[in-house]
Structure 1
């Protein structure tokens, strides 16, 4: 069991190392792209001074050689930074590959350790050990808390999906509102066409968002939250806009769009707030599960 625990802890360490290295690699790629752009600009400066209009002007001013030396030095420094960063990136990628290779050899470690703990737990409980009652209680509590952790995670993922879908609706409605504002100040048929196009896109996005809200609602029910969020209908009527286009109908259209946008924004804020509460509760449950697992391991290894 001690050997299995050591292998499992090493696997956990390697997973954390892999995540940290992956973040470093992403950042290194971004930095390298910036440095390569800087090098390209510096080399362009050198090229212009070696020939072309910039070289002619520099000769006329009598400072071509001085400027050329300076630009070459700056280009060399930029090239050195690029080379150094490429070497750093290469080392990071090598570290990531080494961690992956070692982790592959420890892929079964968590399962092996869990099986050993479970076997010892069965032995202690069936043998009437003094720890049996607490282990049995811990097992029941762990099952419940683990299920709660999973359900809160699923609900939070569904909330993120709903929030993203609502964001698409809001973007189309914001665009329609802008076109509607333009229409009130004389945008004419062009503004009407843009407005209608954005409203149609918002209507289509709203149906997708409502489906995401339905999924979110079902996941919330699993964690004891009863909610039936429903989006307002996006008004895409076109007949009045086409045949009775005047300032009164423009104002009415604008108000309809603004009211719909406000309702969608309100629903979006509700989803965001519920998601934050789910995330906080998930963190609490995860901490509780970690504490229970530590106590269980302490009893089994004691």
Structure 2
């Protein structure tokens, strides 16, 4: 096998192994998120039972009076029901993703043996360099280490870039759903009647569903960005702290408030801000990918030059 072919084969196998490691990390994240969601659901369902005891027997009282405490309890229950529904949806999607990851990891079982064979051949080349030119051998080892780091980071950046595209598409779907809801809401405001009110609420339900999909997509992007942050080395620096902080803010603040309150006009403005941030992330990741591809090509040239 020619040297260049050997290097390419080794890189391909390393890519598969690193992809498997990446899947394992994603599996760990998702299992943790599923546990947290399960705990949240238990707490929310317990709170729901308590609120229902307050709200359910109060139908007649609600007709006779405008008890502020009762109205607050009803609002809290409505909010909680939305949150429970969202948590259940996220739990279902994460469980499906976990099953896909486990299946993909199973498909890479035989990669270890193939990589061992490829690595053994590379070791012969390294031994030859050690015997004939120790300085070149040191350079070769340094290039091998950097090549491995670049492959690993390229995988993570590629995954994050794919996640950013999915998040952007999901957010555009939210924007489209909110535009539809906003139009029907305006008509309803000026006395559109029962049918318009019904359609408006169906459009709001569609907006919430689209929003749930967007939240899930951004959650995946968040996890990918965390992976990139943890992989930084002295040789390879990636500035994403602001992106990770932004993602945390989105999950803790923007989406829960929007899902619960359906304030359409404000929601549309907030959504444009989120889309802008995701676009910045996407552009940054694409730039990182270009840099890593260029560096990978230079490493390959340098390794080949050492063996001439």
- With the shorter chain as reference, the TM-score category is 0.5 to 0.7
Structure 2: distance between partners of 1:117 and 1:177: 64
May I ask how many residue pairs the two structures share in their alignment? Answer: 183
Provide closer, same or farther for how the CA distance between residues 294 and 114 of structure 1 changes in structure 2, counting only shifts above 3 A. Answer: farther
Once the two structures are TM-superposed, the CA of residue 124 in structure 1 deviates from its matched residue by 3.0
Larger radius of gyration: 1
Deviations 1:59-109 (A, max 9, x none): xxxxxxxxxxxxxxxxxxxxxxxxxxxxxxxxxxxxxxxxxxxxxxxxxxx
- Give the structure 2 partner of residue 188 of structure 1: 193
- Residue correspondence of structure 1 range 1-302 to structure 2 within 5 A: 1-2=1-2, 5=5, 118-127=122-131, 129-130=133-134, 131-224=136-229, 225=240, 226-227=244-245, 228=248, 229-230=250-251, 231-232=254-255, 233-234=257-258, 256-300=263-307, 302=308
**Structure 2: runs of 5 or more not aligned:** 9-114, 230-239
Deviations 1:137-196 (A, max 9, x none): 111111111111111111111111211222221111110011112223332222221211
Structure 2: distance between partners of 1:290 and 1:117: 21
Structure 2: distance between partners of 1:287 and 1:211: 32
Q: State the TM-score, normalizing by the size of structure 2.
A: 0.52
Provide closer, same or farther for how the CA distance between residues 4 and 163 of structure 1 changes in structure 2, counting only shifts above 3 A. Answer: closer
Q: RMSD in angstroms over aligned alpha carbons?
A: 3.1
2:4/2:304 contact within 8 Å kept: no
Q: State the TM-score, normalizing by the size of structure 1.
A: 0.53
Once the two structures are TM-superposed, the CA of residue 297 in structure 1 deviates from its matched residue by 1.8
User: Larger relative contact order (C-alpha < 8 A, sep ≥ 6)?
Assistant: 2
1:117/1:297 contact within 8 Å kept: no
**Structure 1: runs of 5 or more not aligned:** 9-110, 238-252
